[in-house]
Amino acid sequence: MKKLLFGSLIAATALAGCGSDISKEVKASSYDGTYLNIGVIGEQPDLQEKNVKFSTLSFEELEDTNRVSSKFDAVFITKDILKQADEEKYIKVYRKLDVPIFFLETTKGFLPFVFENLTYDNASEVNDAYASGYLLEKKDSYRYWEYGLNNNQKNDKNVKDVYSRIFETIAEVKE
């Protein structure tokens, strides 16, 4: 009996030192908020969200800011189009939109897209950035958002989490 008690005591002591590591990995949750219609310039995100509709948009269509602002809740510009999105002629377009614009998979934030004399090539890297959003509210007042990947690791769950947070932001702005 003493051996059993002693063995149990040793096992309990050994197990007491073992803690369950709290996972820092996020749970990929679906967005279930208000319905969102998002215009996308570039490759559409590979997401299946029941309350989010993606529509292809071109830079030429984007220039009609009144139509875009009334038709869409936000605009996404994807990684494959960021160099073109940096053209100075689009600065005024981004500033005239009444809906937020998000630059996806940018490592430079939103600044090179909305400020003159700053290009994507010469802009500084933004630590832990994956996506950046921008909305001019008044002449000299704007809102911006930065989204990073959990643990700065690109995987399906972390990317989906970024999109879910972006959708939440869009829904808040829409209200």
Strands (E), the chain: 36-41, 52-56, 74-77, 101-104, 131-138, 141-147
Would you say residue 13 lies in a domain? no
Look at residue 20 in the predicted model and tell me its pLDDT: 39
**pLDDT of res. 122:** 82
Separation between Cα atoms, residue 86 and residue 13, nearest integer Å: 60
Whether 3 is covered by a domain: the verdict is no
Angstrom distance (rounded) from CA 94 to CA 85: 10
Other beta carbons less than 10 A from residue 82's beta carbon: 19
- Residue-level pLDDT, tens digit, the chain, 175 residues: 444 333 333 444 344 444 433 445 555 577 888 999 999 999 988 888 889 999 999 999 999 999 999 999 999 999 999 989 999 899 999 999 999 999 999 888 888 888 888 888 888 887 778 999 999 987 778 999 999 988 888 888 999 999 999 999 999 998 8
Mapped onto helix, strand or coil, the DSSP state of residue 53 is strand
Q: Is residue 4 part of a domain?
A: no
**Centroid of chain to Cα 53:** 16
Nearest to 97 by CA among 57, 43, 50: 57
- Residue 11 in any domain: the answer is no
Please tell me the total count of domains within the chain.
Answer: 1
Structural domain including 45 reads: 30-174
Category of 157 on φ-ψ map: left (φ > 0), alpha (ψ -120 to 50) or beta: alpha
Helices (H), 17-143: 59-62, 65-71, 82-85, 91-96, 111-114
152 is a domain residue:
yes
> Is residue 24, in this structure, part of any structural domain at all?
no
Separation of alpha carbons 153 and 13, rounded Å: 36
In a domain, 94, yes or no: yes
Does residue 164 lie within any of the structural domains? yes
